Structure 1
Amino acid sequence: MATTSISGLSSGLDTASIIDQLMQLEAIPQSRLKTRVATEQSLVTTLQTLNTKVAVLSSRAEALAKPAAWAPLVSSSSDSDVKVTTGSNLAPTNLTVTVTAVAKTHQLGFATSAALTDQVTGASNIVRLDRFDGSPVDIDSGDGTLAGLVAAINDPDNATGLRAAAVRVSDGQYRLLVESSATGAAQDFTLTAQDLSPLLGGATVRSGTDAAIDIGAGISVGSTTNTFTDVVPGLTLTVAPDTTIGTVSTISVTRDAAGVSNSVKALVDAVNALLTDIDTQSASGSATKAKGPLMGDANVRSLRSTVLDSVFPTDGSSMADLGIEVDRFGKLTFDSATFAGAYAADPAGVAEQFTTAGGGFAERVATVTKGASDPIDGTLTAAITGRNSGITRMKDSIEDWDQRLELRRISLTRQFTALETALNQMSSQSSWLAGQLSSLPTNSSG
């Protein structure tokens, strides 16, 4: 709604400026609301950042609280041709492995060379694949040429389980090489014409073989491939196809004590980083220290206390014998040497003091931090949600003030316009009256 203003027409006053100044006074409550909104938004950002750090700590603690985190192993092989893979259920072990055989494919190399376009399948374009299982397979080579035969053997639709290649031996001349796709002694086969006559002068055979290793004490392990799965539960060995027969490799699987120690140190460091951040954000301020934006926040103070208290077992004992203590500054310290000694003496006992099963340190930290950062009912999450709701209400109030102030400006503008109009009318009447008075006759005395 627009209102016409006659600024100072009769009064000589800058009524537009006066209205602006009055509106600034009227807008003071709204300005305070805007300042509060900015302050609350800054606090929400600070809480969200803190909540993210708490959630990260919760994830780290939850991972270390799982028993699997306390069964890491380091494996090694003294020979690069023998690879080691470990599973979660493997216990520390040592083996001496001797490679006695490697797995090979069954291979046929045909004697007679031919051009790619030569007919090579005999009286019929069909060749016979026999795996000695009582169910030979006929393969249609198409045109009966060497190229057609190679293509038919390699065609996935024929599911031959073979690989074929035409090997160039001289200009325009090729010899047929066919081998099984898989390794092992059971992969033997023959390839003949449909009438069982030899193809291309017959074939030289390299029989497929199984792989074998000797682990001592008269124990030999065989495999149709070069991978030996679960040689002992959780331990898999893979032998390179070109490994020299007689190769001896020492396999060692030990506990990763250094890795466990590093994980515990990382958790302690993460706890200290969170405590430091809380101290900074909730600082009361002094001559040398700035006041934190979360000063006086009860949720934050409570979180610091519960996180620090989680270092102490519920039975009132101490973690000092595992190298974890609280210093005079309210932070955690970690002595890796003390931890290493305790872990070497009793790995299972130390693990229990950290894991879920024993209600351990990592589990306690995970519980406390999850209670604060849970996206549904975490205390920090609730605080953020509450402040965001308050911000929404204040923004609604600011919008209401916009309408209220607009109506107030219209009202003031109308009042000053009415004043100027009245003054103008009075001025006109005054001028008329003065004119009337000046036109009256003047009496003269003689």
Structure 2
Amino acid sequence: MGMAVDGLISGLNTTDLINQLMQAEGVPQTLLKTKVTDSTTYITAMQSLNTKVAALADLATKTAKPAASDLHTATSSSDKVVVTAGTGAVDGTIDFTVDKVAQSQVTVTGPLTQWPDEPPVLTFVAADGTMKQVTASSSSLADVAAAINKAGVGVTATRVAAGLDPSTGEKVYRLQLSSTKTGVEGSFTAYRGSTTDVSAGTASNLLTEPGAAQVRQAQDAQITLWSGTGAAQAVTSSTNTFADVLPGVSMTVSAASTTPVTLTVARDDKAISDVAKSLITSLNDIFALIATKQAVSTTTNATGGTVVTAGTFTGDSTVRDANQKLLDAASAPIDGVSPSTYGISITSDGNMTFDADKFATALAADPEKVKAAVAAVAQRVADAATAASDKYDGTITTKITGEQSTVKSLNSQISDWDTRLADRRASLEKTYANLEVNLQKLQSQSNWLTGQLAGLSTSS
């Protein structure tokens, strides 16, 4: 902006005059800025709606899958047996006893001040016969333990203080060797010597060394089904978890017991109801947002007149269409049966309601039909929500993209107007500056003429 000095000759307040003229000149740009503000508000509201609709599409897609309503509870009569039911579980009960729990192998060496070989070479033979050789950097028991732990042989080694050597008074230690896996498959045999020595039968089994001991045998967990009957059947697991005794059911045991444990699997009606309710809640959240943004508000201006202000979504066909399609998807009949039969109903104000009691009654009467109905409604809602919110060609997404392009164009026009108005202000400032110069010249001429006329009167 150029610097303007108020009229020194004319006495005009040219700064205010130019500002008033520029205000009139800038009306088109002001209108453009108002459009940008309105469009930005609209874009923000549409993006919020699109996010909710996209989330609904994801939820409805998951709800439409059979696994969403294939829900069961699993309980056991013992707090030492924890059970969970997943997809594919079948209602029923079964009795069993827990005979053994899984455990890892623990072996300790005899008391040592250092490893008897230099360099220490050990070989570990796994339950499947696989052999792995370990060589330590020195005969220090700490180095031997470190070498075993780094070798990845399925065994961890810990140096444990074991008092003093009665002959020398030196500190002695034992190496505790523990399998990293529970169950028989985690068992191992440790030898002093190389794999060649083991194969040749010349390596020394650590358990045959003086003072060595097997602290704990590797053991599989075991349960017996129908214990005490002619149909008794033992089932084992390398861990304390049994995942294949019953379809879709996982159980973890923590203690052996001869007392029979009863495992019960039942359909989880509450969880299935919650799935349907969640879908309706998500739909109503979207309907509420749209209703709020469509609402027309009225206020009173300073003169007492009524001012009516349209909502952001008022009259928007894209939003109206998405709202109607979602409502239709949730409320239309399924194979000629209204969703209200299952507790899913449309209200007079364009929302949905979920009657948990009615749903529970229908589910108890015909669970498969009700679950199929929920899946059908969810799939229709998923299709409608995806059509509106798809990140490439969703109707709401496309509307947002188009409005963003409009804002970009408007901002470009506003920028052009900045240049145009700056040039116009400079032109006005120059015009009024020239006016002052010309007025000064005229005033000088007037003063000169006045002097000349005064001189003529005196001479005559």
- In the superposition, the TM-score normalised over structure 1's length comes to 0.84
Question: Which stretch shows the higher mean deviation, 96-105 or 158-167?
Answer: 158-167
1:376 pairs with 392, 403, 409, which one? 392
Question: Which stretch shows the higher mean deviation, 411-420 or 23-32?
Answer: 411-420
Query: 5+ unaligned residues in a row in structure 2: which ranges?
Result: 166-170, 194-201, 301-307
Pick closer, same or farther for the CA change 1:344–1:169 going to 2, 3 Å.
farther
The whole-number CA distance in structure 2 between the counterparts of 1:133 and 1:375 is 53
Residues 96-128 of structure 1: CA deviation (Å, up to 9, x unaligned)? 120122334445456xx63x425656x996567
**1:192–1:199 Cα contact (<8 Å) kept:** no
* Residues 1:224 and 2:238 aligned together: yes
Pick closer, same or farther for the CA change 1:383–1:430 going to 2, 3 Å.
same
2:54 is paired with a residue whose SS is helix
2:266 is paired with a residue whose SS is strand
Structure 1 residue 144 displacement after superposition: 5.6
Q: How many residues align?
A: 432
Match for residue 153 of structure 2? Answer: 159
Question: Which stretch shows the higher mean deviation, 360-369 or 136-145?
Answer: 136-145
Structure 1 residue 221 displacement after superposition: 0.9
**2:149–2:155 Cα contact (<8 Å) kept:** no
Percent of residue pairs identical? 36
The whole-number CA distance in structure 1 between the counterparts of 2:287 and 2:447 is 82
Residues 53-82 of structure 1: CA deviation (Å, up to 9, x unaligned)? 222222222221121101122222222322
1:250 is paired with a residue whose SS is strand
Pick closer, same or farther for the CA change 1:157–1:374 going to 2, 3 Å.
same
Pick closer, same or farther for the CA change 1:427–1:264 going to 2, 3 Å.
same
The whole-number CA distance in structure 2 between the counterparts of 1:407 and 1:202 is 99
Letter in 2 for 1:302: D
**1:150–1:164 Cα contact (<8 Å) kept:** no
Match for residue 308 of structure 1? Answer: 327
* Residues 1:235 and 2:249 aligned together: yes
**1:101–1:211 Cα contact (<8 Å) kept:** yes
Pick closer, same or farther for the CA change 1:308–1:130 going to 2, 3 Å.
closer
1:97 is paired with a residue whose SS is strand
Match for residue 95 of structure 1? Answer: 94
**2:149–2:157 Cα contact (<8 Å) kept:** no
* Residues 1:75 and 2:95 aligned together: no
The whole-number CA distance in structure 2 between the counterparts of 1:50 and 1:428 is 72
Match for residue 209 of structure 2? Answer: 199
Match for residue 293 of structure 1? Answer: 312
The whole-number CA distance in structure 2 between the counterparts of 1:264 and 1:47 is 26
Match for residue 219 of structure 2? Answer: 209
Match for residue 447 of structure 2? Answer: 431
The whole-number CA distance in structure 2 between the counterparts of 1:80 and 1:55 is 43
Match for residue 354 of structure 2? Answer: 334
The whole-number CA distance in structure 1 between the counterparts of 2:250 and 2:35 is 64
Pick closer, same or farther for the CA change 1:392–1:76 going to 2, 3 Å.
same
* Residues 1:168 and 2:188 aligned together: no
Question: Which stretch shows the higher mean deviation, 342-351 or 185-194?
Answer: 185-194
Match for residue 197 of structure 2? Answer: none
**1:154–1:164 Cα contact (<8 Å) kept:** no
Pick closer, same or farther for the CA change 1:163–1:245 going to 2, 3 Å.
farther
* Residues 1:352 and 2:372 aligned together: yes
Letter in 2 for 1:52: T
The whole-number CA distance in structure 2 between the counterparts of 1:139 and 1:23 is 89
Match for residue 189 of structure 2? Answer: 189
The whole-number CA distance in structure 2 between the counterparts of 1:273 and 1:293 is 17
Question: Which stretch shows the higher mean deviation, 148-157 or 314-323?
Answer: 148-157
Residues 189-248 of structure 1: CA deviation (Å, up to 9, x unaligned)? 3656856484115646754333321111322112333333311333333222xx134243
* Residues 1:117 and 2:133 aligned together: no
* Residues 1:321 and 2:341 aligned together: yes
The whole-number CA distance in structure 1 between the counterparts of 2:16 and 2:404 is 38
Pick closer, same or farther for the CA change 1:158–1:25 going to 2, 3 Å.
closer
Letter in 1 for 2:249: L
Superposition map of 1:215-294 within 5 A: 215-216=225-226, 217-240=231-254, 243-285=255-297, 291-294=310-313
Question: Which stretch shows the higher mean deviation, 129-138 or 33-42?
Answer: 129-138
**1:128–1:196 Cα contact (<8 Å) kept:** no
The whole-number CA distance in structure 2 between the counterparts of 1:14 and 1:175 is 102
The whole-number CA distance in structure 1 between the counterparts of 2:188 and 2:414 is 86
Match for residue 303 of structure 2? Answer: none
The whole-number CA distance in structure 1 between the counterparts of 2:136 and 2:164 is 24
Letter in 2 for 1:65: A
Pick closer, same or farther for the CA change 1:132–1:401 going to 2, 3 Å.
closer
**2:93–2:262 Cα contact (<8 Å) kept:** yes
**1:100–1:246 Cα contact (<8 Å) kept:** yes
Letter in 2 for 1:228: F
The whole-number CA distance in structure 1 between the counterparts of 2:369 and 2:448 is 111
**1:299–1:380 Cα contact (<8 Å) kept:** yes
Structure 1 residue 141 displacement after superposition: 6.5
The whole-number CA distance in structure 1 between the counterparts of 2:22 and 2:348 is 57
Query: 5+ unaligned residues in a row in structure 1: which ranges?
Result: none
* Residues 1:386 and 2:402 aligned together: yes
* Residues 1:60 and 2:56 aligned together: no
The whole-number CA distance in structure 2 between the counterparts of 1:266 and 1:135 is 53
Pick closer, same or farther for the CA change 1:317–1:27 going to 2, 3 Å.
same
Pick closer, same or farther for the CA change 1:149–1:335 going to 2, 3 Å.
same
Pick closer, same or farther for the CA change 1:37–1:85 going to 2, 3 Å.
same
Structure 1 residue 286 displacement after superposition: 6.0
Structure 1 residue 327 displacement after superposition: 2.1
**1:74–1:256 Cα contact (<8 Å) kept:** yes
Residues 19-41 of structure 1: CA deviation (Å, up to 9, x unaligned)? 22111111122112212221221
The whole-number CA distance in structure 1 between the counterparts of 2:154 and 2:336 is 70
The whole-number CA distance in structure 2 between the counterparts of 1:57 and 1:15 is 61
